[in-house]
């Protein structure tokens, strides 16, 4: 993964000193609260319902074991001994003290981490596919480009006070595990007919209160042009995005107002002034960025069939292991290796939460089984990306002990869920108890497996941190005269066939939710043809049968 | 009001900005140094020719292109920040310097805040109109928050990736 040089260390170190001074000035009354607000937000610091919340950047989801151990130390020393993996691959602390945040940032800087631009109206952490570099269906590894974009966007002087937040995602596969259709800018790495590398560029996607699927404004942008082109998009947005109404300030509103074609033309014109500038990427820099993501020292020539035959033979003796193999282990481009997803969706634990001790266990397992690296996922799980197939049983035993082997990845109970009303001051309703109630309702794993892949997402308010619009089943917390209710949407899809869910109808009380989901699943099961996935059954039969069942008057 | 230089020195300032809707008689402008809003300047350009003591300021919703023909003649251009959260002035500053080659004094006026000075400097601003009694020493430090940067801007036209190799 990327390794800081003297420049990175200097810049991040100076950021810590800057924020320390800003915090001191704020506490001394020298910075008014409204001015301190964007300063702390751009260091990931929110003031929340119960305490400040600090969002630590995990650039494109990559962590090493040293960083995990530091995070464990930080959660133990400065917080209550646990942290939370977010839907944008970052890590949140729920209970830091404001005056200790500079110290936390200094500790993070020691292990080449920071909280830069994890909030505020600026360019946020770049996200990508958790299987980057190891996925068999990958066209190009997105991580070098993510790092190039990370550096370009870090402390960009022109774009720190945008109309609203700005999120960029990069995908290196067609399958799209980075939700590029739902970002302010989505970049799809592609090769053209001559084999040259470039990007398909989408703009104006997003969730929140106005969900929109991004529009393609360029089919092929050569890789050398990425920074100048991003700069052109951001400049157009900075100058022309709405600033009169924060709910209409995202780039999606601008793109929709002028139309994607006209927007593309504005960008194109701006770009003509920038494209030959110094930010045009030399091939050397692309090569340098790639050099940080070499293949680890894989053992070559492993017999995949043989290794898996031996591992699969253990399924018979141990059903739980078999389930885990089927659901939490993913394909790898190198024969004899597999990627392993650690489920952070254990019933009774808020989705994405990790204790200090668990962070240390993951660090140990990463060192032992996966070249010391681990990734966070936008599904709020973690991934050991390079595990030798022959060691899968041994790893499973360790994971089971540590509570990460719940064999539910990609299933109905692998719920994506924001912190909700238990923690977040924006939330209209709690989300974690809903996740738990649904997990309890569907506690028969065999039944859940039979249902096939289903994404269920829960957001506690329309800011949509739980990405409910793009869950196959989406749940949105709403407030009705001080009471918490839940609206259900069906048919969302975060992947290549991107789609926004349709609202089922009037909202439900919290107690009704498990039965509502049960009825939805029953309609699916009754209408399913063969092994058809939920999303395809929905596409075939539409919303009506679900609506009819869920809102049927009791007989 | 005094102005802070990009080096953190407090300097006396004789330029005064007139309100956006001001319609001064030319005789009122004959003494002193005045920044008038770009719209009024363009409407009265013929009469103002040769008056080196009159220059312009842009608001955040004005386009940098509106001064494209004037940049070689104007000694000072002001860019207003109506509220510190309005970041359009950063783009306007860069465009004035990089696209329209403005080489005179580019000054930030209005409601920018101390902790934006560093970014303003990077975007080509070299003077900052501050309130009387502003904490100059503290501001001078904020101007030097960082000693290096990743991306190209006005003060360092080479992105770090072109300098790392040197």
Distances from the Cα of A200 to the Cα of A76, A174, A289, A443, angstroms: 43, 11, 20, 42
* Higher-confidence position of A555 and A86: A86
* β-bridge mates for residue B55, sequence order: B35
Instruction: Return d(Cα A207, Cα A90) in angstroms, integer.
Output: 18
Whether A550 has a pLDDT exceeding 90, the answer reads: yes
Q: Which residues of chain B have a CB within 8 Å of the CB of A285?
A: 161-162
How many Å separate Cα A96 from the centre of its chain?
Answer: 23
ipTM of the complex: 0.97
Please indicate whether the domains covering A142-290 and A416-550 agree at the CATH topology level.
yes
With tokens 């000075």, the residue in question is B117
| pLDDT value for B4 | 92
Which candidate, A292, A392, A302, A376, places its Cα nearest to that of A340? A392
What region does A71 belong to: left with phi over 0, alpha with psi -120 to 50, or beta? Answer: alpha
| pLDDT value for B166 | 60
Instruction: Return d(Cα A326, Cα A52) in angstroms, integer.
Output: 40
Q: Which helix (H) or strand (E) holds A540?
A: helix A534-541
Instruction: Return d(Cα B105, Cα A93) in angstroms, integer.
Output: 45
Whether B137 has a pLDDT exceeding 90, the answer reads: yes
**Quick check: A87 and A41 in contact, CB under 8 A?**
no
Which candidate, A472, A474, A489, places its Cα nearest to that of A431? A474
How much is the average pLDDT of A71-90? 95
Whether A47 has a pLDDT exceeding 90, the answer reads: no
The pLDDT confidence band at residue A396, using thresholds 50, 70 and 90, is very high
* Higher-confidence position of B137 and A208: B137
How much is the average pLDDT of B56-84? 97
| pLDDT value for A497 | 87
Instruction: Return d(Cα A501, Cα A525) in angstroms, integer.
Output: 19
| pLDDT value for A554 | 62
Structure tokens at B95: 């465009």
Whether A496 has a pLDDT exceeding 90, the answer reads: no
How much is the average pLDDT of A100-118? 97
A37 touching B (Cβ < 8 Å) = no
Structure tokens at A82: 């646990």
How much is the average pLDDT of A364-392? 96
Whether B165 has a pLDDT exceeding 90, the answer reads: no
| CA distance to partner chain A, nearest, from residue B14 (Å) | 28
| N- to C-terminal Cα separation, chain A | 60
Phi, psi of B85 (to 5 degrees): -80, -10
Q: What is the largest CA-CA distance in chain A?
A: 72
Q: Which residues of chain B have a CB within 8 Å of the CB of A11?
A: 146, 148-150
Q: Which residues of chain B have a CB within 8 Å of the CB of A15?
A: 146
Which candidate, A499, A473, A495, A472, places its Cα nearest to that of A486? A473
Instruction: Kindly identify which residue of chain B lies nearest to residue A161, measuring between CA atoms.
Output: B87
SS (H, E, C) A48-63: CCCCEEEEEECHHHEE
* β-bridge mates for residue A340, sequence order: A329, A384
Interface test with A, best of B68, B81, B87 (most A CBs within 10 A): B87
CB contact under 8 A, B87 and A161: yes
Q: Which residues of chain B have a CB within 8 Å of the CB of A31?
A: 114-115
| pLDDT value for B66 | 97
* β-bridge mates for residue A166, sequence order: A123
Neighbours of A535 (CB within 10 A): 22
Structure tokens at B123: 């975007």
Whether A555 has a pLDDT exceeding 70, the answer reads: no
CB contact under 8 A, A243 and B86: yes
Instruction: Return d(Cα A301, Cα A335) in angstroms, integer.
Output: 7
Mean pLDDT taken over chain A = 95
**Quick check: A496 and A174 in contact, CB under 8 A?**
yes
The pLDDT confidence band at residue A553, using thresholds 50, 70 and 90, is confident
Q: Which of A14, A38, A279 sits opposite B159 (nearest CB)?
A: A279
Instruction: Return d(Cα A323, Cα A409) in angstroms, integer.
Output: 10
How much is the average pLDDT of A70-90? 95
Whether A50 has a pLDDT exceeding 70, the answer reads: no
Residue A482: exposure state from Cβ atoms within 10 A (0-12, 13-18, ≥19): exposed
Q: Which residues of chain A have a CB within 8 Å of the CB of B135?
A: 30
Whether A422 has a pLDDT exceeding 90, the answer reads: no
Q: Options 3.40.50.300, 3.30.365.10, 3.40.50.720, 3.30.413.10; which CATH number does A142-290 get?
A: 3.30.413.10
Whether A144 has a pLDDT exceeding 80, the answer reads: yes
How many Å separate Cα B144 from the centre of its chain?
Answer: 18
The pLDDT confidence band at residue A506, using thresholds 50, 70 and 90, is very high
Strands (E), chain B: 3-5, 10-11, 15-17, 33-37, 54-58, 76-81, 105-110, 127-129
The pLDDT confidence band at residue A484, using thresholds 50, 70 and 90, is very high
Neighbours of B53 (CB within 10 A): 14
Q: Which of A15, A21, A157 sits opposite B153 (nearest CB)?
A: A157
Instruction: Kindly identify which residue of chain B lies nearest to residue A23, measuring between CA atoms.
Output: B115
| CA distance to partner chain A, nearest, from residue B131 (Å) | 14
How much is the average pLDDT of A344-350? 90
| pLDDT value for B2 | 86
How much is the average pLDDT of B156-163? 96
A235 touching B (Cβ < 8 Å) = yes
| pLDDT value for A337 | 96
**Quick check: A416 and A457 in contact, CB under 8 A?**
yes
Instruction: Return d(Cα B44, Cα A53) in angstroms, integer.
Output: 54
CB contact under 8 A, B147 and A10: yes
| CA distance to partner chain B, nearest, from residue A341 (Å) | 34
Specify the range with the lowest mean pLDDT, choosing from A49-63, A74-88, B32-46.
A49-63
| pLDDT value for A261 | 98
Domain boundaries, chain A: 6-59+85-110, 142-290, 304-402, 416-550
Interface test with B, best of A38, A158, A285, A292 (most B CBs within 10 A): A158
Instruction: Kindly identify which residue of chain A lies nearest to residue B122, measuring between CA atoms.
Output: A157
Whether B100 has a pLDDT exceeding 60, the answer reads: yes
β-strand pairing of A456-459 with A473-480: parallel
| pLDDT value for A426 | 85
Neighbours of A515 (CB within 10 A): 13
A323 touching B (Cβ < 8 Å) = no
Instruction: Return d(Cα A268, Cα A486) in angstroms, integer.
Output: 43
Percentage of chain A exceeding pLDDT 70: 99
Which candidate, A338, A272, A250, A4, places its Cα nearest to that of A147? A4
- What topology is assigned to A304-402 in CATH? Sulfite Reductase Hemoprotein; domain 2 (3.90.480)
Q: Which residues of chain A have a CB within 8 Å of the CB of B101?
A: none
**Quick check: A385 and A344 in contact, CB under 8 A?**
no
Instruction: Return d(Cα A532, Cα A536) in angstroms, integer.
Output: 6
How much is the average pLDDT of A65-80? 97
How much is the average pLDDT of A472-497? 93
Mind listing the domains of chain B with CATH numbers? 3-163 (3.40.50)
| CA distance to partner chain A, nearest, from residue B113 (Å) | 8
Q: Which residues of chain B have a CB within 8 Å of the CB of A157?
A: 90, 118-120, 122-123, 149, 151, 153
| pLDDT value for A48 | 66
CB contact under 8 A, B90 and A157: yes
How many Å separate Cα A223 from the centre of its chain?
Answer: 24
| CA distance to partner chain A, nearest, from residue B125 (Å) | 12
Instruction: Return d(Cα A210, Cα A173) in angstroms, integer.
Output: 27
Q: Which residues of chain B have a CB within 8 Å of the CB of A162?
A: 87
Q: Which residues of chain B have a CB within 8 Å of the CB of A25?
A: 138
**Quick check: A353 and A82 in contact, CB under 8 A?**
yes
How much is the average pLDDT of A105-131? 96
Q: Buried (b) or exposed (e) across A253-292, using 16+ Cβ within 10 A?
A: bbbbeeebeebbebbeebbeebbeebbbbeeebbebbbee
| pLDDT value for A6 | 95
Q: Which of B114, B118, B151 sits opposite A279 (nearest CB)?
A: B151
Size of interface A-B (CB pairs under 8 A): 110
Instruction: Kindly identify which residue of chain B lies nearest to residue A120, measuring between CA atoms.
Output: B85
* Segment A160-213, tens digit of pLDDT: 999 999 999 999 998 888 999 999 999 999 999 999 999 999 999 999 888 999
Instruction: Return d(Cα A201, Cα A216) in angstroms, integer.
Output: 6
A416-550: CATH number: 3.30.413.10
| CA distance to partner chain B, nearest, from residue A112 (Å) | 16
Structure tokens at A418: 């924001």
| pLDDT value for A42 | 95
CB contact under 8 A, A277 and B152: yes
* Segment A426-448, tens digit of pLDDT: 889 999 999 999 999 999 999 99
Q: Would you call A445 helix, strand, or coil by DSSP?
A: helix
| CA distance to partner chain B, nearest, from residue A517 (Å) | 43
Instruction: Return d(Cα A2, Cα A19) in angstroms, integer.
Output: 24
Strands (E), A428-510: 456-459, 473-480, 483-490, 502-503, 508-509
Chain B residues near any Cβ of chain A (below 8 Å): 84-88, 90-92, 94, 99, 113-116, 118-120, 122-123, 135, 138, 141, 145-153, 157-162, 164-165
């Amino acid at each position: 993964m990327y390794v800081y040089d003297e420049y990175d260390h200097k810049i991040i170190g100076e950021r810590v000193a800057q924020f320390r001074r800003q915090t001191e000035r704020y506490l001394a009354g020298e910075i008014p609260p409204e001015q301190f607000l964007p300063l702390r937000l751009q260091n990931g610091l929110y003031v929340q319902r119960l305490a400040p919340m600090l969002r630590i950047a995990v650039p494109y989801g990559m962590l090493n074991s040293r960083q995990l151990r530091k995070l464990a130390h930080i959660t133990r020393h400065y917080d209550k001994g646990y942290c939370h993996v977010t839907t944008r691959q970052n890590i949140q602390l729920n209970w830091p003290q404001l005056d200790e945040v500079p110290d936390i940032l200094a500790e993070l800087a020691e292990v080449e981490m920071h909280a830069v631009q994890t909030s505020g109206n600026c360019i946020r952490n770049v996200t990508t596919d958790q299987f980057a570099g190891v996925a068999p269906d990958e066209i190009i590894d997105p991580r070098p480009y993510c790092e190039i974009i990370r550096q370009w966007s870090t402390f960009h002087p022109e774009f720190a006070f945008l109309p609203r937040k700005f999120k960029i995602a990069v995908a290196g596969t067609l399958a799209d595990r980075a939700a590029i259709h739902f970002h302010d800018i989505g970049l799809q790495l592609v090769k053209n007919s001559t084999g040259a590398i470039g990007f398909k560029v989408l703009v104006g996607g997003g969730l929140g209160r106005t969900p929109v699927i991004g529009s393609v404004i360029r089919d092929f942008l050569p890789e050398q042009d990425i920074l100048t082109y991003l700069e052109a998009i951001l400049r157009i947005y900075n100058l022309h995005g709405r600033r009169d109404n924060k709910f209409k300030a995202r780039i999606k509103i601008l793109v929709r107002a002028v139309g994607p074609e006209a927007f593309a033309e504005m960008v194109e014109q701006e770009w003509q002034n920038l494209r030959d500038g110094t930010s045009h990427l030399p091939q050397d820099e692309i090569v340098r960025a790639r050099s940080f993501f070499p293949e680890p020292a894989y053992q070559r020539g492993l017999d995949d069939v043989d290794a898996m035959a031996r591992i699969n033979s253990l399924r018979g003796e141990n059903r739980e292991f078999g389930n885990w193999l089927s659901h939490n282990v993913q394909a790898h481009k190198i024969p004899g290796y597999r990627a392993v997803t650690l489920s952070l969706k254990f019933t009774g634990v808020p989705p994405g939460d990790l204790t200090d001790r668990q962070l240390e266990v993951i660090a140990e397992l990463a060192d032992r089984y996966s070249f010391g690296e681990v990734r966070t996922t936008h599904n709020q799980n973690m991934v050991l990306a390079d595990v030798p197939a022959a060691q899968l049983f041994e790893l499973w035993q360790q994971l089971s002990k540590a509570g990460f082997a719940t064999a539910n990845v990609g299933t109905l109970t692998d719920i994506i869920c924001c912190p909700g009303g238990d923690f977040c001051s924006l939330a209209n309703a709690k989300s974690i108890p809903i996740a738990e109630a649904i997990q309890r309702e569907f506690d028969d794993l065999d039944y859940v497996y039979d249902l096939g892949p289903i994404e269920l997402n829960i957001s506690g308010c329309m800011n949509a941190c739980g990405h409910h619009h793009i869950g196959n089943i989406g749940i949105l917390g709403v407030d009705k005269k001080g009471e918490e209710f839940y609206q259900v949407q069906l048919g969302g899809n975060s992947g290549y066939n991107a789609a926004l869910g349709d609202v089922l109808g009037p909202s439900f009380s919290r107690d009704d939710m498990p039965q509502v989901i049960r009825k939805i699943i029953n309609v699916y099961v009754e209408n399913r043809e063969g092994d058809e996935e939920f999303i395809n059954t929905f596409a075939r039969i539409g919303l009506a049968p679900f609506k009819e069942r869920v809102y049927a008057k009791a007989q | 009001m005094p102005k802070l230089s990009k080096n953190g020195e407090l300097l006396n300032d004789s330029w005064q900005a007139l309100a956006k809707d001001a319609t001064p008689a030319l005789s009122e402008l004959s003494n002193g140094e005045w920044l008038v809003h770009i719209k009024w300047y363009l409407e009265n350009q013929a009469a103002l020719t040769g008056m080196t003591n009159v220059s312009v300021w842009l608001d955040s919703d004005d386009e940098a292109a509106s001064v494209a023909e004037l940049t070689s003649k104007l000694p000072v251009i002001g860019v207003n920040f109506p509220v510190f959260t309005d970041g359009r002035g950063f783009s306007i500053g860069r465009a004035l310097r990089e696209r329209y080659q403005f080489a005179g004094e580019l000054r930030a006026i209005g409601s920018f805040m101390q902790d934006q000075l560093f970014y303003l400097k990077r975007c080509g601003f070299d003077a900052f109109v501050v309130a009387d009694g502003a904490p100059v020493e503290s501001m001078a430090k904020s101007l030097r928050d960082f000693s290096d940067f990743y991306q190209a801007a006005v003060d360092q036209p080479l992105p770090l990736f072109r300098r790392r190799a040197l």
